Amino acid sequence: MIQAVLADDEVLARQKLRHLLREIPEIQVVGEGATAAETIDLVRTAKPDLLFLDIRMPDMDGFDVIGRLSETVGDSMPSVIFTTAYDRYALRAFEIHAVDYLLKPFTLERFRAATQRALQHIKNLRQNPQAQTGKAKNGSPYTTRIVFKSKGRILFLPVSEICWIGAEENYVRICTQSESHLLRETMSRIEEKLDPSTFLRVHRSSIVNLQYVKEVRPENDGDYGVVLRNGQRIPMSRTYRSRIKHWMGR
């Protein structure tokens, strides 16, 4: 059973969430907060798995709530779905690893998609608790999705769908099995955000997702190349060969 807390200063908004959650038997509502202070106390005592959190609240905003909780509950931090009438906080929400961002008024289909994503996320954490405690050099958890703007849209790409990442001058190209996206980012910065137990830099200009690696094979010039499951070959430089040897020896 997934335990959830609802946090919103509007009674009707909490009623709507509670009503919608009745059709999802895996989620049990264990408390409701009408203020940020009430919400912080509830999460500290009930230790829910999931928090539906409004951003604009009377005493402090949802990001302040996350900040206070991060200081006190540590690894017991619940997964968060933001609920708000404002779209301008979406990028900031995903930068702090929110599972989803429900923009009011949201549809039943959109609510179902968000809760299913949260359920899967929480199940994954229960199966692999290390994924929750893994942190980047700056102390933030490794990112679970890449958020970026493309053609006027905000896209949320789970890192599990990334096959490999290549450098292209001042950009990186993120490649999935069916598409690729060009982001203005450096290889070093994006490497720092990714869990090194899953993503491995094999060349100055390429990072591979180990989930998609089929084999490592020697090339004619004496170097090695990484072959992905779709048959694509990614060059591996001698500088980074020790990394993949270390991974193969684990």
* pLDDT digit string, tens, across residues 44-77: 999 999 999 999 988 889 999 988 887 787 668 8
Q: Are 212 and 229 spatial neighbours (Cβ–Cβ below 8 Å)?
A: yes
pLDDT at residue 250 in the model:
55
Average pLDDT, the chain: 85
Going from the C-alpha of 60 to that of each of 53, 150, 233, the distances in angstroms are 12, 32, 51
SS3 231: coil
| Phi and psi at residue 87, to the nearest 5° | -85, -10
What is the CB neighbour count within 10 angstroms for residue 21? Answer: 19
Residue with more model confidence, 218 or 69: 69
Going from the C-alpha of 13 to that of each of 43, 54, 84, 85, 134, the distances in angstroms are 19, 9, 10, 11, 34
Coarse DSSP helix, strand, coil percentages of the chain, rounded to the nearest 5 percent: 35, 30, 30
For the chain, how long is the longest CA-to-CA vector?
68
Residue with more model confidence, 231 or 197: 231
pLDDT at residue 160 in the model:
86
The pTM of the full predicted model, rounded to 2 decimals, is: 0.60
**135: pLDDT strictly greater than 70:** no
Residues 153-212 pLDDT 10s: 677 788 888 999 999 988 999 999 888 988 888 999 899 888 888 899 999 999 999 889
